[in-house]
Chain A
Amino acid sequence: MTGAPLIDWLPRSNAINLLAGVFLLSALYAVTQRRTAACITAYTWNSLSLAAIAMLVALLTGARHIGVAAALVLVSKGFLIPRLLRRALARSRSRAEAEPYVSIQLSALLCGALVVIAFSQTRVLFGEGVSILASCLPVSIATTLVGLFLMVSRKQALAMVVGLVILENAIFLAAVSLTYGMPLVVEMGVLLDLLVGTALLGMMVGRIEESFATDDATRLTSLRG
């Protein structure tokens, strides 16, 4: 479904590169913010840029199913999931933000290193841009690592959930950039999963708070047999 003229034309359009930059920077912004609310905001921007990239790809390649997926991303990741997360945050009674495992400054540094690794290794692994979305692949891998790092470094359960959903966004971007998206049924299934998963995680965070009077996930260690 990719026409040859488009491949010639696309690299000249810097719009996708710009949006990919927004995607990565929003993830990095989440890492540098201590407050969970700011992380959720970062996630919103992350999702919006993802939806924009997908929409742009749909317009440029004329693939309708990517367009539908982009619309679904916009609705679910751009609005519903941030809303679920904010509601969970609002319900949360513990206002004190636990200190992350890694200080903010060090986090920024480490994530910079992760981004460098991702970019250099993607070139080694996949070669120079084959796909029309060549710039998006290193971004998606870098964002995967950053999302995972967010999960590792934060103690609050809700911030870890934000890391998880950022990671999921990155995987979606990787799928789009490598294969122009998965079949629509799969995309819809994944999005539904994510929606339900986030709702459940929000509830789980509530339960953790009830049990431990804090949403500090490190307390879960005491459940170990």
Chain B
Amino acid sequence: MPLAVIDGALLAAAVWGLGLAALLAALPSPRARGGSLAALLPSAARGTAIVASLALAAVGALRLAGLETPPLTWDAGLPGGRFALGVDALAAPFVLLLGVVAAISFAARPAAAPGGASRGERAGMALHAAFALALAAVFTARHALLFLLAWEGMTLLSAALVASDTRSARARSACFVYLAISHVGAALLGFGLLSLAARAGSFDFADLAAALARLPAAEASPLVWLISAGLVVKLGLVPVHVWLPLAHPEAPGPISALLSGAMVKAGLYGLLRFAWQMPGLPIAGWGMTLVALGTITALIGALYAVVEPDAKRLLAHSTVKHAGLLALALGLAGALARNGQTALAGVALAACLYHAVGHGLSKALAFLSVAEATHAGGSRDLERLGGLARRLPRLSAGALVAVLSLSGLPLLSCFAGEWLMFQALIRGYSEGPPPLRLLAPFAGAGLALATALAAAAMVKLYGIGFLGRPRTPAAAAARPVAPGIENALLLLGGLVAAWGLLATWAMTALGAPLGAMLGPAFDPTALVTAGGLALAPPPATSASISPLAIALLLAVFLAVPFAWARASGGRAEVRRAPSWACGIRLDPRMQYSALGLTKPLRLIFGRLLQVEREVEVLSQGSPYFGRALRFRSGIPPLAERMFYQPLVQAVLWASDQARRLQAGNLHLYLGYLLATLVALLVWAR
């Protein structure tokens, strides 16, 4: 098998390449040898990282094509087996996604100045490569301890990258919230996995599965719940999603792309790996819980995306929404699979995996292009942007593709997944187990509302940020973006379109991971009909869709009128004239503002959002003659109000109660001693 050898070499190349890139970037520039060498080192680091990421993507793609590879092993001298890295069927789509997103994110880093990179740039690049390496280790680890180490490394490195702008107080506090919540999750995950490993006597995933199968259900299910709770933190479900809209936007654009595009999927991967792909799983209630949580998360993410004025944070809220969709599809698949409806579970799971990749690509593109645009326009606040489409047309084209895809429009990478989710929900309602029938209508309605709200958020992002006239001089003077970065983004845009257009082939390629999850009873070819041109969810085909056919129809219907117009009248003459505005001068402030555009939604969801607004009349002298108005509006985060504030208050209250024990009275303390002693004497036998 020469191909398998190449594949194994590719994985090794990916891992060592990312490590080498991190090292190269961390090396101090040799100043004495002149400028050319100083610039060479960062470029070498970037090139190595790109090549290594592409190798990683190739490994994933080859595994999806059915190529088994021997795992890389390393004896770390620890008990419980050798460290092993390998790509199995389940990990393959995630590895492919990570490879592509990481390669583009490295390509989209600004090139180093000719004089060599500064310390901050070098540290950023080194952390970036190390973060990509940690992510790769999470997806390829075949050893639980290595997985935990990689998981923690991923958290710490990304936290360092989030706080890379050390002067920003907002980034520091976001980093703190991120670390705090992540450590709770890591503790739960570590406790669950390590206690399972203790029962197994080994860290190997296969041994863990065997140990879980031996455990009685009363012991196994708490462990699985613990592990799931730890993993859900990374996926960003309500109520542990609060770190996500804070941390993701604070990192530089390429890092945000990796965070939202790939790291969120690590939570999904973990759930598939440890809470499903083991004997006896998924446990009862797991799927339904995920469906409920996913629906709520999708709604909350979409709602906050709509009302968010900060462009990057809007995208982060949209990530929360899509994490909710992924959880919903995963839970649906789990509930159906537990009920024995493998074919239908396959539809939901295919939707989940396809959407994981599709959203990863689109969101990476969105973060990269919006980060470049906001950097060029000088502000992340949508109210200070505008007119970028005319000034930066190529970048804006990339952003447009991302925005259309994230709105869930057909032909792009987020559509087929959401469509399959709807199909699975409708079928689950009519054929699924009784509790699912109760939940499915709510989930379906929630999914529809979330999708619509997310589309509104994307319209706002592009319409306010990129169209219209520049709202500030800084936005009007947006500096051009390096052509290399634009090319990388357009390439990613092409991938987003390809993943959407070739959805049927993508589903066929996902057959291997689907088979790994659902067992031999599942037939992956049943998902597509019409010679592989149309998607049709089994078992009884009631609906089908073919992205290629839609694209063809669209092309025809666009081409025919153009051809007809051309044939009948020729090209109409274009006359350019200033817009007429009732005789007054047009002003950028006459445009719709981001706040104004979402006012109706703010009113409709006012009870839930609890919008704070404050109008102040600024006057000089007499209060009856206002000179200016100051308007301030804000939306307090729901989860913090409803979940974290009570939690913090409860902890403080408990601490106050505990403090009463410490009255400072010597005799009381001695009394505790006496009482403890007597109690121990009486009960210790």
Contacts and interface: CB of A to CB of B under 8 A. Distances in A.
A71 B224 CA distance: 65
Contact of A141 (B667, B681, B685): B681
Nearest to B667: A152
A160 B621 CA distance: 73
Interface in B663-685: 663-667, 670-671, 673-674, 677-678, 681-682, 684-685
Nearest to A144: B677
A117 B678 contact: yes
B665 A145 contact: no
A121 interface: yes
A144 B670 CA distance: 13
A223 interface: yes
A221 interface: yes
Ranked nearest first, the 10 interchain pairs of A and B with the lowest CB-CB distance are A224-B664, A121-B681, A152-B670, A148-B674, A152-B671, A151-B670, A221-B664, A221-B665, A152-B667, A217-B666
A43 interface: no
Q: Is the interface of A mostly helix, strand, loop or mixed?
A: helix
B681 A117 contact: yes
A139 to B, nearest CB: 14
B63 to A, nearest CB: 63
Given A149-B674, A152-B671, A220 B666 contact: yes
A96 interface: no
A101 B665 CA distance: 13
Q: Which applies to chain B's interface (DSSP): helix, strand, loop or mixed?
A: helix
B265 to A, nearest CB: 50
Contacts of B665: 218, 220-221
A104 B671 CA distance: 17
Given A118-B681, A121-B682, A152 B674 contact: yes
Interface in A90-123: 101, 114, 117-118, 121
Interface in B238-259: none
B667 A145 contact: no
Given A218-B665, A221-B664, A221-B665, A148 B681 contact: no
Interface in A115-148: 117-118, 121, 124-125, 141, 144-145, 148
A145 B685 contact: no
Contacts of A114: 678
Contact of B685 (A125, A144, A151, A155): A125
Contact of A117 (B664, B666, B667, B682): B682
Which range contains the number of A residues in contact with the other chain? 20 to 34
Contacts of A121: 681-682
A113 B677 CA distance: 14
Contacts of A117: 678, 681-682
B678 to A, nearest CB: 6
Most buried by A among B677, B681, B684: B681
Contacts of A217: 666-667
Interface string B401-431: 0000000000000000000000000000000
Nearest to B675: A152
30 contacts: A101-B667, A114-B678, A117-B682, A121-B681, A121-B682, A125-B681, A125-B684, A125-B685, A141-B681, A144-B677, A145-B674, A145-B677, A145-B678, A148-B670, A148-B674, A151-B670, A152-B667, A152-B670, A155-B667, A160-B670, A218-B665, A218-B666, A218-B667, A220-B664, A220-B665, A221-B663, A221-B664, A221-B665, A221-B666, A223-B664
A142 to B, nearest CB: 10
Contacts of B685: 124-125
Interface in A40-73: none
Contacts of A101: 667
**Which of A121, A141, A217 gathers the greatest number of chain B CB atoms within 10 Å?**
A121
Contacts of A152: 667, 670-671, 674
Interface hub of B667, B684, B685 (most chain A Cβ within 10 A): B667
A145 B666 CA distance: 17
Contacts of A155: 667
Contacts of B667: 101, 151-153, 155, 217-218
B147 to A, nearest CB: 46
A187 to B, nearest CB: 23
Interface string A199-225: 000000000000000000110110110
A126 to B, nearest CB: 11
A218 B684 CA distance: 32
A115 to B, nearest CB: 12
Nearest to B663: A221
B473 to A, nearest CB: 56
A168 to B, nearest CB: 14
B656 to A, nearest CB: 15
Contacts of A145: 674, 677-678
Nearest to B672: A152
Interface string A139-173: 00100110011011101000010000000000000
A121 B682 CA distance: 6
B264 to A, nearest CB: 46
Nearest to B681: A121
A145 B679 CA distance: 12
Contacts of A223: 664
Contacts of B681: 117-118, 121, 125, 141
Contacts of B677: 144-145, 148
A101 B684 CA distance: 29
B680 to A, nearest CB: 9
A182 B671 CA distance: 29
A117 B674 CA distance: 13
A141 B684 CA distance: 14
Contacts of B682: 117, 121
A140 B664 CA distance: 30
A145 B667 CA distance: 14
Nearest to A151: B670
Nearest to A124: B685
A77 B674 CA distance: 24
Nearest to A223: B664
Interface string B567-591: 0000000000000000000000000
A224 B667 CA distance: 14
Contacts of B670: 148, 151-152, 160
B660 to A, nearest CB: 12
A114 B671 CA distance: 13
Given A117-B681, A220-B666, 5 more contacts: A125-B681, A145-B677, A148-B674, A152-B670, A152-B674
A121 B667 CA distance: 25
A178 B129 CA distance: 65
